[in-house]
Amino acid sequence: MGYIQDIRKLVGTRPIIMAGVSIIVLNEQNEILLQKRSDSGDWGVIGGALELGESLEQAAVRELYEEAGLQTDDLKFICLLSGADMYYKYPHGDEIYNVVAVYETRDYTGEPCINDDEGLELKFFQLDAPIDNLNEMARKILSKSNYIT
């Protein structure tokens, strides 16, 4: 069990502040790797919540491996996002206000593969074309960090 699951046992679905990371993975064609989410069926960015004692960078490396089977030691900090518009309600009812550190990597090893039960598929998308079925939070993260308009 992780930290967030432990908190949820105490507070139920009520809103909590969740510190987390998003990792923008770009390939040589400047396409972004997205994950088709198992909870909502739409496309989202790679990322997740911090565990106790973990740094933002450690969480980014861990989430990248857990969700996409990729490894990197080259993370570029892009921005920190927070505030009322970072509110999200999961399909199962949990509510959060995200505080998200956004990182980018272009230098990674491995081939994208589903490594956990959070994703159904991984796919690279062009940033200069509309991305159909993009998750609401992913759209906010990508627009606020200037990857899409």
Domains in the chain: boundaries: 3-144
pTM of the prediction?
0.94
Percent of the chain with pLDDT over 70: 99
72 vs 110: CA distance, rounded Å: 9
Q: 70-120 pLDDT, tens per residue?
A: 999 999 999 999 999 999 999 999 999 999 999 999 999 999 999 888 899
Q: Which CATH architecture has domain 3-144?
A: Alpha-Beta Complex (3.90)
Binned at pLDDT 50, 70 and 90, residue 1 comes out as low
